[in-house]
Amino acid sequence: MIMKFSKLLSTACAAAIAASALAIPASAEDVSYHAYLGVQSASYTFRNAWNDATYGQGITSDDGMVYFDQLTGWENPGNIAVSKGGVFTDAEITGDGTYSVSVTDFDFGEDESLNLLFVSTDIPLDAGITISDVKVIMDGSTKYTFDEAYLSPDEKEYVSPMCINIWNEDLGKQDGLFGYMMPTDSIELQFTVSGTGVEAETTEAAAEEVTEETTEEVTEAETTEEVTEAETEAETEAAETEAAETEAAAADTQPAEESSSSNVGVIIAIVAAVVVVAVVVVVVVKKKN
């Protein structure tokens, strides 16, 4: 029991040491940012930046429409806002690595081009974090890659890489930087984040691996201990039963009519007791081993 307890304690200590070695530095513990896909088509079906005051995150119409959770279009006459579908996949940025944001199940109607396509983040411009390798992927095919992200000059507070903006001279007001057919199934923007001070994905994977290995070792040790205890209890019961049967058999052979029966009984009892003690000692020694 002592040896197995020591083994379990050693395993737990090893896991604690490994976990502390993989712990994220205090300066990087609060790394938690978010990224969203922003888009606008030729007919102004859109999803604006998350911090847009009119249609951004958390803004709801009078009839309960949550603009940021869908593509919003317009129905004439009256320019009534209507849902154009759209299933968005956002990204939580927890460290350096590659992330992507996307939209599927959309309805751009008869539109043949996009006015805007961008990544909207809540990363402050002064956070020292950079974004690079921005890939424009439409219907599963990469159309263009920005080696260095082109940040929106109109966004004064947060990092917002632009990919398409028909009103921006740098992105190609006339012909654009790259040709594409209007997507029908999916739009994805993939990008690489650096400068957070932590490799979040690598650290998490290593921590999970250590946890799984430790759990398996402890479970195996507990199972072995349970089996050993069960075997020891069974052996002890068998030894006691055997001793009892020996004592009973000896008692049956004792002559009842002889005057020396009391002395013989005492001797037999002593012998039986010695046998019981010896069996118990053997069991205890075996259990310790």
Closest to 107 (Cα-Cα) out of 35, 41, 181, 28: 41
Q: What is the DSSP string of 59-115?
A: -B-TTS-BGGGS-EEEETTTTEEEE-EEEEE-EEE-SSEEEEEEEEEE--TT--SEE
Of all residues in the chain, the percent with pLDDT exceeding 90 is 52
Q: What is the pLDDT of residues 220-268, one digit of tens each?
A: 545 545 545 555 565 556 555 565 564 555 445 444 344 444 444 544 4
Can you give the pLDDT at residue 239? Answer: 52
Average pLDDT over every residue of 127-154? 97
Average pLDDT over every residue of 1-11? 47
Cα-based angle 123, 125, 131 (whole degrees, multiple of 5) = 65
**HSE-up of 129 (CA within 13 Å, CB side)?**
26
pTM higher than 0.85: no
Which one is predicted more confidently, 31 or 124?
124
Q: Where are the alpha helices (DSSP H) in 150-260?
A: 200-252
Which one is predicted more confidently, 136 or 222?
136
Can you give the pLDDT at residue 9? Answer: 43
Q: What are phi and psi of 156, to 5 degrees?
A: -95, -5
Q: What is the pLDDT of residues 7-62, one digit of tens each?
A: 544 544 444 444 444 444 434 467 899 999 999 999 999 999 999 999 999 999 98
Q: Tokens 């290995």 map to which residue?
A: 213
CB 136 within 8 A of CB 163: yes
Can you give the pLDDT at residue 221? Answer: 46
| CA distances (Å), origin 128, targets 95, 194, 270 | 13, 9, 87
Give the dihedral sign, CA 232/237/240/241.
negative
Which one is predicted more confidently, 103 or 259?
103
Average pLDDT in the chain: 75
Cis-peptide into 77, omega within 30 deg: yes
Q: How far is residue 187's CA from residue 167's CA, in Å, rounded to a whole number?
A: 21
Closest to 246 (Cα-Cα) out of 268, 221, 227: 268
Can you give the pLDDT at residue 29? Answer: 63
Which one is predicted more confidently, 182 or 268?
182
Can you give the pLDDT at residue 244? Answer: 56
